Amino acid sequence: MEEDGQVQILAISGSLRAASSNTALLRAMARNAPDGVQITLYERLVEIPPFNPDLDGDDVAESVRDFRSRLQAADGVLVSSPEYAHGVPGVLKNALDWDVSSGGLYRKPVALAYASPRGTYAQAALIEILNTMNARIIPEASVTIELMGKKPHEFESVFSSPDVSNAIRQAIDTFVGAIH
C-alpha cells in the first residue's frame, strides 16, 4: 500500500491509441498530483491475453500477474476510458475480467476521469462492471475534462488552463481524501 508515506494510485487508460485523450488526461493528472501522491500509468494493457476462465489458475500469464499485483499494491485506481460502440473498450473489459477472481478491486477506491462528456454508455457500463466487482467508486472524485474535438497538440493548452488544472487538482485531492 502506501510506500514511504506516499499514496499510490494506479491509472488505467482504456485506450491503446498513441495519441489517446484518455491517456493524456491521466498523464496530466499524474503531473498535477500533490506531494505525497504518486500516480502511475499502467502501460501494459495490450499485453493481457483474452480472458479464459480455464487459464485462470496458478499459472496465469505474466502480464496478468503483473496487472493483478499492481491493482493489489495500489491504494486507489483511476480509470479513463473512451466509448467504443456504446461500450467499454474490449481491452479494458478483458483486463477487469482477469481481476474478478483475484479481487484486486474489492472495496478499492476508484475514481473515473472522462475526456468527453458524450461517452455515457461506456461510463454506465464501466460503473456497472466496477460495482459488480465491489470496487468503491468515488463519484465526487471523478472529473470530466473536455478534450473531444481537440488535436493531441492542443491537449496541453487545455490542461494548463487555470480552471482545468484546478478541477484536476480538486479531483485528486478529493480522491486522496476518500482513500484515507
Average pLDDT, the chain: 95
Q: What's the CA gap between 19 and 23, in Å, rounded? A: 8
Q: What's the CA gap between 159 and 40, in Å, rounded? A: 18
pLDDT value for 119 = 86
pLDDT reading at 148 higher than 90: no
Q: What's the CA gap between 100 and 92, in Å, rounded? A: 13
pLDDT value for 57 = 87
What distance separates the 2 farthest-apart alpha carbons in the chain? 50
Instruction: Kindly list the structural domains of the chain, giving each domain's residue range(s) and its CATH number in brackets, ordered by start.
Output: 7-179 (3.40.50.360)
pLDDT reading at 146 higher than 70: yes
In DSSP notation, 89-153 reads -HHHHHHHHHHTTTTTTTT-EEEEEES-TT-HHHHHHHHHHHHHTT-EE-GGG-EE---TT--GG
Three-state DSSP class for 23? helix
pLDDT in tens, 43-102: 999 999 999 999 998 899 999 999 999 999 999 999 999 999 999 999 999 999 999 999
Q: Looking at residues 114-118, what average pLDDT do you find?
A: 90
pTM (two decimals): 0.94
pLDDT band with cut points at 50, 70 and 90 for residue 25: very high
